[in-house]
Chain A
Amino acid sequence: MKKTLSLIAVLIFFSTSLFAQGFKVKASGDQTFNFADRGGRNQATFFSTTPLEDINGLTNDVKGTVTFNVSDLKTLKGKISVSVASIKTGIDLRDEHLRSEDWLNASANPEITFTIKNVSNLKVLEDNKLEAKVTGDITINGVTKEVTSDATLTFLDESEMTKSRAPGDLLGVQAKFKVRLSEFGVKNKIIGQKVAEIVEVGVNMVGSNAN
């Protein structure tokens, strides 16, 4: 009987260790990170192709918050938003077209949002660095669809180095996923060029848990 109980206790211990994967850092408990960008470091990018040339879009107007338990990243919840009007592709005329009704309709839908629903396939890379698949609802052009992104999260305890960026602990997030334009009611033509149906999206941002 004792052996059985000991075995169960060991199994519970290991299963908890296996399923509750998180950061091994100084901070503990629930933490909320704000991605308010003071230095223009946060960014969302997109990459697409046309028969003539590739299109690289970029915006630094990315903001939002995420909350999670430091020792269990599966508790991750939050929302990230990107201002449509701020997206640039390097050509002013093309940017105007991107904001038009045929594309992202910036006047009616000024923001692209991503609301985190769940986290899976967690993989510990280092004590303060994890890889995961983050699933959430993305809203583009007023249409909401579920997407799963490959994300890397890095937790930095507050130090003299991090203070130069922002007060508090820092959370770095790099994520990428693909979206199909037709699913979001986007007519994939831009200044007469046929744009690839699938667009690669990337997010690279840093948040702080300081109030």
Chain B
Amino acid sequence: MNKNQKIILIVGLLLIAVILIYWQTQGGDILTKTQVQVEKVDELFNTTYMEWEDKFVLGLDYAGTASAVIAVLSGILIFLFRNKKQEKQ
């Protein structure tokens, strides 16, 4: 593995790691959501109720797809940056 291939491999792995860590910090949900429920307190009745709040929550569907795309692209780039001189020898 030459220097360029190593860089691509490291960058690819780092990007996948960042995506998966971010996905986990978002709650590790399977499906991506655009709204989440937040609990509110009704002080008049001393009860709680839920409200929708606009928020993007990354799910494994998008995180997994993005990771797979990065893995495939990294693989293609590693193949393209292979040492052609060494192969000929």
For residue B35, CB closer than 8 A to chain A, the reply is yes
CB pair B50–A58 under 8 Å, yes or no, is yes
CB pair B30–A52 under 8 Å, yes or no, is yes
Residues of A5-57 at the interface with B, using a CB-CB cut-off of 8 Å, are 40-41, 43, 45, 52-53, 56
Q: How far is B45's CA from A172's CA once the two chains are assembled, in angstroms?
A: 7
- Per-residue CB contact flags for chain A residues 76-92 toward chain B (1 = under 8 Å, else 0) read 00000000000010111
For residue B36, CB closer than 8 A to chain A, the reply is yes
For residue B52, CB closer than 8 A to chain A, the reply is yes
Interface size class of A (residues with CB under 8 A): 20 to 34
CB pair B44–A91 under 8 Å, yes or no, is no
- Per-residue CB contact flags for chain B residues 17-43 toward chain A (1 = under 8 Å, else 0) read 000000000000111111111000010
For residue A204, CB closer than 8 A to chain B, the reply is yes
Q: How far is B47's CA from A154's CA once the two chains are assembled, in angstroms?
A: 10
Residue of B nearest to A174 (CB): B47
DSSP class of B's interface residues: helix, strand, loop or mixed? Answer: strand
For residue B79, CB closer than 8 A to chain A, the reply is no
Q: How far is B44's CA from A156's CA once the two chains are assembled, in angstroms?
A: 9
Q: How far is B46's CA from A206's CA once the two chains are assembled, in angstroms?
A: 12
Task: Count CB-based A-B contacts (< 8 Å).
Answer: 47
For residue A1, CB closer than 8 A to chain B, the reply is no
Q: How far does the Cβ of A45 sit from chain B's closest Cβ, in whole Å? A: 6
Q: How far is B50's CA from A156's CA once the two chains are assembled, in angstroms?
A: 21
Please indicate the chain A residues that have their CB under 8 angstroms from the CB of B35 in the complex: 88, 90
Please indicate the chain B residues that have their CB under 8 angstroms from the CB of A45 in the complex: 50
Given A88-B52, A170-B44, 18 additional A-B pairs, CB 8 A: A40-B51, A52-B30, A52-B31, A53-B29, A58-B37, A58-B50, A58-B52, A90-B33, A90-B34, A90-B35, A90-B36, A90-B52, A92-B34, A94-B31, A165-B44, A172-B44, A204-B49, A206-B45
Which chain A residues have a beta carbon within 8 Å of chain B's beta carbons?
40-41, 43, 45, 52-53, 56, 58, 88, 90-92, 94, 154, 156, 161-162, 165, 170, 172, 174, 204, 206
- Give 24 A-B contacts (CB < 8 Å), ordered by A residue: A40-B51, A41-B49, A43-B50, A45-B50, A52-B31, A53-B29, A53-B30, A56-B50, A58-B50, A58-B52, A88-B35, A90-B33, A90-B35, A90-B37, A91-B31, A91-B32, A91-B34, A94-B31, A156-B44, A161-B44, A162-B44, A172-B44, A172-B47, A206-B45
